[in-house]
Amino acid sequence: MAAKWIEMLVGSLEQKKQYKQDMARLEALPAPYRDSAKALHRYFNYYGGIDDGDTFVTMLGDFVDLFERAATDGTPVRAVVGDDPVEFAETFIQAYSGKQWIDKERARLRAAIDTAASEENHS
């Protein structure tokens, strides 16, 4: 019962547990992979804006899997991310279609312009 109340306040405890496990896996990567993955993770947090916990945890797990496989296989970081790490990061995030925080603001902007336009037509 207490867990339900806590989850109502802070979100899914299972998601938080999975996130911590995935971040521990990321930290355990060899230096070039870890450093690259940490930089990309930081970019994901700024650019992605995913506000659906399930989607974000799934994305992070898949991302860490990718870097673990690359490290195990000895695949160079550039072979994973390509010449443009920004393009890689943004394409990777787009593969996960969760709701983003900006969606709410997009809806507000559209509604505000629709309202203004309809008022303009009635003047």
Instruction: State the CATH number of the domain containing residue 42.
Output: 1.10.1900.10
Farthest CA pair distance, the chain: 67
pTM of whole model > 0.85? no
Q: What share of the chain has pLDDT > 70, as a percent?
A: 86
Cα–Cα dist 65/76, whole Å: 15
Average pLDDT over residues 78-97: 92
Domain that holds residue 29: 2-121
The total of structural domains in the chain comes to 1
Cα–Cα dist 118/123, whole Å: 9
pLDDT bin (cut points 50, 70, 90) of residue 54 is confident
Compute φ and ψ for 12, nearest 5 degrees: -65, 125
Compute φ and ψ for 82, nearest 5 degrees: 80, -170
Cα–Cα dist 84/104, whole Å: 30
Contact 30, 15 (CB under 8 A): no
Average pLDDT over residues 12-38: 94
Residue 10, pLDDT > 60, answer no
Q: What share of the chain has pLDDT > 90, as a percent?
A: 52
Residue 48, pLDDT > 80, answer no
pLDDT bin (cut points 50, 70, 90) of residue 4 is low
pLDDT bin (cut points 50, 70, 90) of residue 61 is very high
